[in-house]
A and B are shown apart, each in its own frame.
Chain A
Amino acid sequence: MKRIILDLILLIVLLTSCAPVDLNAPIPTFNTGVNPDSWAQIPAGEFYFGQHEDIESTEAYEIMVTDVTVSQYAAFLNGAQSDGSVKIVDGEVVGYYPGDVFRGVKHEEQIKAGDWIFIPLEDPSQRIEFDGSTFTSQPSYENHPMTMVSWFGAHGYCQYFDWRLPTEKEWEKAARGSDTRPFPWGEEIQRENANFYASRDPFEDMGSFGSRTSPVGFYNGQKYGNYQTLDSASPYGLYDMAGNVWQWTGDVYEGMHLRFLRGGSKDTYDMDLRAWVRNNATPTYVSPGVGFRCVR
């Protein structure tokens, strides 16, 4: 009898682990009051760069206060499709990229001029819907960061509006300001500061679908239902510079086709949310945990 009970428990656990995840499970909708069309001014000057606090400097620039949202990206695709800047090939939105200089360094792969994937349309994690003529945001995801977007898709978006992706230096300066803080808001992290793995935010359910994105600017000190957030803006007023989604940066390094990501995400532990932490992936990589913002 004991043996049967043990086997049954094991079977239930195994079946539970194999149960399909509902990627379209209802998600709470909140208005954060943060305008995704706003920009922050970053002054020229020196700042602490990296874990070991090297002194670096940048020119003045403006950076988006939030990640690019799903609805912003859908609007871009509609415009870009109508003027031929992007097209749909085999279930993917693709656009032109002029290629990288290839040096044949070990592990380097050639990125040639041509059409490259911006976003996959048929991936179940994609929050952009396409009815054959128009791109729209999946309901409730309008103010969430745009995800499932490749580096080409992020680069293409910024370039379309005559903007660009931030360099790693620009990104880090915007995140931590002029002091040595590891997080945009200060020295330590609490669960209510950011959306990271098992941070117990209203969007996650670790028993089924796990972490999900939160609306841009969510961690602004507001109370949403019973959930009180901490105001987690960077010294320059940017939101989501730690957690929610990794953000593509624009640097193309010599002898390396990989592109760098910053900020950590809903899927990483808090250590990856420190401002100097770097991640990288091939420029065609897409993920429900990767987004971007632009500078100008």
Chain B
Amino acid sequence: MQALKNRLNYLFGSTKGLILVAIAMVAIETAVWGMLSGPMAELGVREVVVKALGMDLVQAEREGRIIILYHSIAMAVVAIETYMITSLLKMKEFYKIAVRALITVGYILAMVFGMGFAYFGHNWALHGVYIFGLSLIFFAGVLLVIALWPWNPEYHVTDKVYASTKKGVDLERVAIFATAVTTVISALFGAIPGSYFGNGFETFLAENIIRYPEKTTMEYSVIGHLHIMLALIAIMITLIIGRWLNFKGILHKTAMPLMILGTIVLNLGVWGVVTPLEPIAHMIIYVGATPSMFAALLLLIWSWGKLIREGTANLEKPTFGQKISALIRDPLQFGPTWQMLFMNFTTSGIGIFMAIRLNEIFRVWPAREERIELTGHWHVLSAIIATIILLYYGDMIGLKGKVRQWYGWGIIILSDIAFAAVTVFEMKRLFISEAEQQPLVNLLMYMMDFGLGMLLTLLAVVMVWRLIDLFKSKGRWIEEVDHELSQEVMK
């Protein structure tokens, strides 16, 4: 009994245990539900899975199912980021425990009961528990905001290498606080239309109505919600990675105010879509996104510079090759910022190109083609965030030597193969006709399936290893019980 208690204490009472549980939950959900669409559906795997698990897939409810699927995965990711923040930043123990308890119960309820409602018959009691789970996550967010309050003198920085105000207010903490506050507020933009579900508001997928000139306020609200929530998750993981890598110095002092400004302006733009500011909301969003992305670029420049400096410290005049070698020596430290850079080719770049040439190119094509670009680029962004979390997780669990190299490079290379293929797939109409596309589509599909399939296999290996480890009386989990991420910040 004590053995079970110890393990449950690790899984639900320690930072690394909580993160492991959430990653495992997302991995299982991704593996099972990934078999319901795309090539898996073509191969007939979907039919087998639906039958084997007794799923009840009503055609008219597909959009609703997908929305719950997205939410259940997103909530687990938000929980992971919350565990990281509460472990990396100083805060009162009461808040740390309360936030973690609420968000853990919340995301598990939302995931289990939400998916139960969506895929296994519409039992409205399950829907009620799903909403209850989401509400708990919301309250965890409110508590986190209180816990983060950066103007508390206890949290002021004394080391001048970090961004701070003259009075010592930690600007990195302000940036995380601003992101948390705006995340809580932006959640309402989904929650309020959601509360009208079936009573003046019907389920829809934003990509299906993107071309309609007239949209209701609730539709605008949902469209704003889904965009900003993903953007905020991305901003938060950037800040988390910055903290882990110990981002500091002049670039940190420049980046943090930009991050705060960008986050606030970006949110104001997105919230503006439900106000008379709607016609200029996009302009405000661009204005807000620019400093945020620039701040992320500064993190990249700083971290790559650091990796090169450290890796060539013993060389008097390192060559370009030696510098590159130093940069990529540790894939787990290099990977997160590399993925942020790669994101510009697969997400930001595509988005900007589409915005610039929307009427000339993309709106000439059928809406279904535009839908592929829209869904493709935000799926890639979501997956990039997931890979960054996995890279950080690899360091967290102490991977070393060849295992660290294989794990790190596996994630980077396999995901980037898949993301590059998705990006070419999205843009294929620029260079190939519908009639002639099939061989190219096949190649791209192989690349996507290979990349994502192998990535999931790699993740499965890690999860199985961690599961086996839990059966050991002196496994790695014992060491991790008391570890906090703040103790493992890079020097």
Contacts and interface: CB of A to CB of B under 8 A. Distances in A.
Interface of A: 13-14, 16-21, 23, 51-53, 105-109, 124-125, 180, 182-183, 187-188, 197-198, 206-210, 246, 255-256, 258, 261, 267-272, 274, 278-282, 284-285, 287-289
Nearest to B38: A269
Given A107-B213, A261-B366, A16 B60 contact: no
Contacts of A208: 438-439
Interface in B36-59: 37, 41-42, 59
Most buried by A among B358, B359, B364, B366: B366
Given A207-B438, A208-B438, A279-B368, 17 more contacts: A13-B446, A16-B439, A18-B439, A21-B438, A105-B213, A107-B211, A107-B358, A107-B359, A108-B213, A124-B435, A125-B433, A180-B60, A188-B59, A258-B211, A279-B367, A281-B364, A285-B364
Nearest first, the 3 A-B pairs at minimum CB distance are A210-B438, A17-B443, A182-B59
Contacts of B443: 13-14, 16-17
- Bin chain B's interface residue count: 20 to 34
B467 interface: no
Interface of B is mostly: helix
A281 B365 contact: yes
Contacts of B440: 17-18
Contacts of A272: 368
B439 A287 contact: no
Contacts of B154: none
Nearest to B367: A280
Contacts of B482: none
Interface of A is mostly: loop
A106 B211 CA distance: 10
A107 B435 contact: no
A21 B446 contact: no
B362 to A, nearest CB: 10
A271 to B, nearest CB: 6
Contacts of B63: 51
Given A107-B211, A198-B42, A280-B366, A23 B59 contact: no
Contacts of B211: 107, 256, 258, 280
29 contacts: A13-B446, A16-B443, A17-B439, A21-B435, A21-B439, A23-B435, A51-B60, A106-B213, A106-B279, A124-B435, A188-B59, A197-B42, A208-B438, A209-B435, A209-B438, A210-B438, A255-B214, A256-B213, A267-B434, A269-B37, A269-B41, A270-B41, A279-B366, A281-B365, A282-B363, A282-B364, A285-B365, A285-B366, A289-B434
